[in-house]
Chain A
């Protein structure tokens, strides 16, 4: 299955039946809540027991929001899909929901939000689903409005699936241009399935507190289903963007083309299928004169 962002715009793709999966599929629910747990961990909110006001961008059916609620935080969720928000209403999520397009800007007052998470949503901004969509303008509007609405020193964790290195670079570039400091943390970089990229951003100028956390599984540790062991130990912190480099399938062509035998075989094949094929003559598959 190709990734959803290649199939249809988000408001179309997440229709009722797709949204329904987010209440019924235990696999989706488990993956989503595990990613949100990790995002919240990367958000590194002060551990003082005081609830915070957070944003959940692309909240969908509120699965990630539930994790925030479990930790006692209040949240405001943004999503573009009406069906997904209806499912969120059904699940009686605690946060407030807004039907909005993040590419049009978040529309919040400056400096009021304590942090933001986003699970598998930002890559949608790289698509141009309508003729009026310009991914660059939309990324700029999104990161600009996000930067403005956050309190100084607040953190943002955006989990995303980039199609390629270029896309990932584009997202990071626009985040930096908006004024954020930070970078990409990759968990399980050597596993194609478990690999998850998190863009960890800090609002405001870089300081000691803005150092990036370490991705999981970078030292070749295995990805297990219960990956709760922390990877806090100090060491050389490497943050990279990985792309699987699979060798391209080589076409089987010789220097002199495919040969007369191959051609005759193909013609016979087409004849058997009832196509109108020119008769075989002495000219068929003849080698050309070498002019040079």
Chain B
């Protein structure tokens, strides 16, 4: 599971008000290189919950990957930024699309229901009494 999906995912257990953001715990994760597409990031960025994304990267033990506050768009999409190693857009791209959580769990903030992640697939199935 990439952090992009984690950023979109909420729990819908009975009793959860928003069920967001799911608390991420990862015992194993890996990175897989993906080609950077600035237009895709541009379309995606307004939909990203920045704080949840930062919290997720910190949970993976990457405190310096992303700053607390989202950098201004001009800085992210400045000309040629995509080619500079360590630029904001590179870091965002890496955080969203290149990190794959393999083992771990997601915990609903409202109900503390935990969803295990196995082989990179979160198990979001609910029991009958949780629907």
Contacts and interface: CB of A to CB of B under 8 A. Distances in A.
Given A50-B39, A51-B40, A53-B44, A96 B10 contact: no
Contacts of B19: 107
B123 A99 contact: yes
A109 B12 contact: no
8 contacts: A52-B43, A53-B8, A74-B97, A76-B5, A96-B4, A111-B47, A112-B47, A132-B128
Interface string A81-119: 000011001000000111111001111110111100000
B120 interface: yes
Contacts of B121: 85, 89, 97-99
B81 to A, nearest CB: 18
Contacts, number: 83
B119 interface: yes
Interface residues of A, number: 34
Contact of B8 (A51, A76, A80, A85): A76
Given A96-B2, A97-B121, A112 B37 contact: no
Nearest to B21: A109
B107 interface: no
Contact of A89 (B11, B43, B119, B131): B119
Interface in B1-55: 1-2, 4-5, 7-12, 19-20, 37, 39-40, 43-44, 47, 49
A271 B80 CA distance: 94
A141 B123 CA distance: 18
B124 interface: yes
A106 B49 CA distance: 18
Nearest to A100: B124
A99 B1 CA distance: 11
Residue among B11, B49, B122 with most chain A CB within 10 A: B122
Contacts of A97: 1, 120-121
Interface residues of B, number: 30
Interface of B: 1-2, 4-5, 7-12, 19-20, 37, 39-40, 43-44, 47, 49, 97, 119-126, 128, 131
Contacts of B124: 98-100, 107
B30 to A, nearest CB: 13
Nearest to B19: A107
Contacts of B9: 98, 107-109
A252 interface: no
B120 A112 contact: no
A64 interface: no
A77 to B, nearest CB: 10
Contacts of B11: 107
Residue among B1, B8, B20, B126 with most chain A CB within 10 A: B8
Contact of B10 (A52, A108, A130): A108
Contacts of A114: 43
A52 B49 CA distance: 17
Nearest to A151: B47
A53 B49 CA distance: 15
A202 interface: no
A145 interface: yes
Interface in A120-151: 130, 132, 141, 145, 149, 151
A101 B5 contact: no
A49 interface: yes
Given A53-B4, A96-B1, A109-B47, 14 more contacts: A48-B39, A74-B4, A85-B121, A89-B119, A96-B5, A98-B5, A99-B125, A104-B131, A106-B12, A107-B124, A112-B8, A112-B47, A114-B43, A149-B8
